[in-house]
Amino acid sequence: MATKTLNDLFHETLKDIYYAERQILKALPKMARAAQDEQLKAAFLQHKEETEGQIDRLKQVFEIIGKRAQGKTCDAIEGILSEGEEIMDEFKGTPALDAGLLAAAQAVEHYEISRYGTLRSWAQQLGMKDAATLLEETLAEESKTDELLSGLAETAVNSAAKKAA
């Protein structure tokens, strides 16, 4: 069996996040439809547009490493998105729905931040300057989205859920 390298790990992790982003792209419109708070709906729709650009950047990274853009099933994102679906079902029409949706969205963001931070570091280590730049751009977007969601939670969504209790 051939020894696996950091290049191999980079490629496998790239396939993982590519799959994850494509699944997230499908989930965001559902989350936007389910959200009751208009700012939360708008945040989900804005992030859908960003996700489309992130997928395009991932395709560029695949080109840089000379590989075909393809995903591999990511059990982690499947689980996180499944939890979001459960929240939509179990809390539909309740004041706590938006707080649950927001928490699920932040779980997604934290997963993405972890993956993009790792991939960026590996790209730098491997001398893939252009790939590192693309991954850094996405990492910055994901961090900004996480901050936006935290702000919504702290200023509106969580207090609205609490008031109804």
Distance between CA atoms of residues 66 and 68, nearest Å? 7
**pLDDT value of position 68:** 97
| Dihedral over alpha carbons 112, 91, 99, 41 (to 10 degrees) | 70
**pLDDT value of position 81:** 96
Distance between CA atoms of residues 33 and 131, nearest Å? 34
Token pair of 121 as six digits: 């570091």
Concatenated DSSP letters of 21-56 = HHHHHHHHHHHHHH--SHHHHHHHHHHHHHHHHHHH
Evaluate whether 109 touches 149 at the Cβ level (below 8 Å).
Answer: yes
Res. 128: pLDDT tops 90: yes
Rounded to an integer, the average pLDDT of 30-43 is 93
**pLDDT value of position 164:** 58
Res. 43: pLDDT tops 80: yes
Task: Give the helix/strand (H/E) hosting 122.
Answer: helix 97-125
> 3-state DSSP call for residue 65?
coil
Phi-psi region of 137 (alpha: psi -120 to 50; beta: other; left: phi over 0): alpha
Res. 49: pLDDT tops 90: yes
% of the chain residues with pLDDT over 70? 99
Tell me what the pLDDT averaged over the chain comes to.
Answer: 94
Domains of the chain: 6-163 (1.20.1260.10)
**56: confidence class by pLDDT, cuts 50, 70, 90:** very high
**pLDDT value of position 54:** 98
DSSP annotation of 164: T
**pLDDT value of position 42:** 94
**pLDDT value of position 20:** 97
**pLDDT value of position 106:** 95
